[in-house]
Amino acid sequence: MKIILLSLTLLFSICCFSPAQAENLPTLAQNGVEVQQLSKSPLKSYFLNVLGGGSRQSIQLDSPATRLIIYVQRGEKPIRCGDCMKTYNCTPGKPQTINVDPATPIQKIWAENPYEKPVRLRLDIFEEVS
């Protein structure tokens, strides 16, 4: 009887006090491409603060990029952003993935904020042209 009680106590303590591994699981069901991109660490990350009132800011990339993701970190409404070839709607909570041909890599990203509150973007670079 003592052995059974000791075994149950040991089993209970292992289950209650061992760390969970949930942080490694994806939080939302996402398509395979996004999960693959988000699971890899970016080569570089840039931050761009865009003031309100119709201001337009841009950032020059150190090395031209062919694959990147833009996140709106601060802001409530979609804003326009672009790479001098295309214009995108960058929406808070919806990362904007941009893939371009290596023959025409992205050298500069711009964003335009027509609203009153400032917006902050994070650009994660996953592939560069060497």
Domains located in the chain, CATH noted: 45-128 (2.60.120.10)
At 40 the pLDDT is 82
Give the residue-averaged pLDDT of 75-82. 92
At 13 the pLDDT is 44
Please give the mean pLDDT across all residues of the chain.
Answer: 79
What is the rounded CA–CA span in Å between residue 75 and residue 91? Answer: 9
pLDDT at 15 exceeding the cut of 50? no
* Distance, C-alpha 116 to centroid of its chain: 24
CA atoms within 13 A on the CB side of 81: 31
pLDDT at 41 exceeding the cut of 70? yes
Higher pLDDT, 9 or 18: 9
Least confident of 8-12, 71-75, 83-87, 106-110: 8-12
At 22 the pLDDT is 28
As beta bridge partners, residue 84 has none
Is the sign of the CA dihedral 122, 120, 62, 103 positive or negative?
positive
> What type of residue sits at position 32?
G
Tell me if 125 sits within 8 A of 46, measured CB to CB.
Answer: yes
